[in-house]
Amino acid sequence: MKWVTDLAPEPNDVYWSNIWLPYKQLWIRRIAMLLGSLVFMFLFLLPVTFIQGLSQLDQLHQKLPFLNGMLKNPYMIQIVTGYLPSVILQIFLYTVPPIMMLFSTLEGPTSHSEKKKSACHKVLYFLIWNVFFVSLASGTVINQLNSSSSTKDIAVRLASVIPGQTTFFITYVLTSGWASLSSELMQLFGLIWNFIRKYVLRMKEDTTFVPTFPYHTEIPKVMLFILLGFSCSVLAPLILPFLLVYFFLGYVVYRNQLINVYRMRYDTGGLYWPIAHNTVIFSLVLTQIICLGVFGLKKSPVAAGFTIPLIFFILVFNQYCRTQFLPQFKTFPAQELIDMDREDERSGRMEHIHHGLRSAYRQFPDTEDIKLEKTLTVRNDEDQDEGHSSGEPNGEETCEEQEPGKICLTQR
pLDDT at 210 (0 to 100):
81
Crossing angle of helices 188-195/179-186, nearest 10°?
50
pLDDT at 28 (0 to 100):
92
Lowest mean pLDDT among 2-6, 110-114, 176-180: 2-6
Report residue 406's pLDDT band, with 50, 70 and 90 as the boundaries.
Answer: very low
Distance CA 273, CA 323 (A): 15
Provide mean pLDDT across the span 215-226.
Answer: 93
Greater model confidence, 53 or 375: 53
CA distances to 131, 278, 292 from 240, rounded to whole Å, are 18, 21, 21
pLDDT at 29 (0 to 100):
93
User: What letter represents residue 119's amino acid?
Assistant: A
pLDDT at 182 (0 to 100):
87
pLDDT at 148 (0 to 100):
46
Phi and psi dihedrals of 369, rounded to 5?
Answer: -70, 150
Greater model confidence, 162 or 390: 162
Helix (H/G/I), strand (E/B), else coil: 407: strand
CA distances to 139, 335, 356 from 349, rounded to whole Å, are 61, 19, 11
Task: Give the tens place of pLDDT for each residue, 74-91.
Answer: 666 666 666 777 788 888
- Other beta carbons within 10 Å of 124: 23
pLDDT at 371 (0 to 100):
57
pLDDT at 150 (0 to 100):
46
Percent over 90 (pLDDT), the chain: 24
Of 215-219, 268-272, 399-403, where does the model show the most confidence?
Answer: 215-219
Report residue 151's pLDDT band, with 50, 70 and 90 as the boundaries.
Answer: very low
pLDDT at 250 (0 to 100):
93
Distance CA 176, CA 222 (A): 10
pLDDT at 405 (0 to 100):
46
Report residue 314's pLDDT band, with 50, 70 and 90 as the boundaries.
Answer: very high
As a three-state string, the secondary structure of 200-262 is HCCCCCCCCCCCCCCHHHHHHHHHHHHHHHHHHCCCCHHHHHHHHHHHHHHHHHHHHHHHHHC
> Residue 155: is its pLDDT beyond 70?
no
Distance CA 309, CA 297 (A): 19
pLDDT at 170 (0 to 100):
85
Provide mean pLDDT across the span 282-302.
Answer: 82
Contact 47, 394 (CB under 8 A): no
pLDDT at 49 (0 to 100):
77
Q: What is the DSSP secondary structure assignment for residue 265, as one 8-state letter?
A: S
> What is the rounded average pLDDT for all residues in the chain?
78
Report residue 136's pLDDT band, with 50, 70 and 90 as the boundaries.
Answer: confident
Task: Give the tens place of pLDDT for each residue, 330-359.
Answer: 777 777 778 888 888 888 888 887 777 777
Provide mean pLDDT across the span 192-207.
Answer: 80
Diameter over CA atoms, the chain:
106
- Other beta carbons within 10 Å of 406: 13
Distance CA 176, CA 390 (A): 80
Task: Give the tens place of pLDDT for each residue, 36-68.
Answer: 999 999 888 888 877 776 666 555 556 566 666
Buried b (16+ CB within 10 A) or exposed e, 127-156: bbbbbbebbbbbbbeebbeeeeeeeeeeee
pLDDT at 57 (0 to 100):
58
Q: For residue 134, what are the contacts with CB-CB under 8 A and spacing of at least 6?
A: 45, 48, 49
Dihedral of the alpha carbons of 177, 178, 184, 189, in degrees to the nearest 10: -80
> Residue 214: is its pLDDT beyond 80?
yes
Stated as kind and residue range, the H or E segment containing 119 is helix 112-127
> Residue 112: is its pLDDT beyond 50?
yes
Buried b (16+ CB within 10 A) or exposed e, 195-227: eeeeeeeeeeeeeeeeeebbbbbbbbbbbbbbb
Greater model confidence, 278 or 24: 278
User: What letter represents residue 299's amino acid?
Assistant: K
Q: What is the DSSP secondary structure assignment for residue 66, as one 8-state letter?
A: G
> Residue 154: is its pLDDT beyond 50?
no
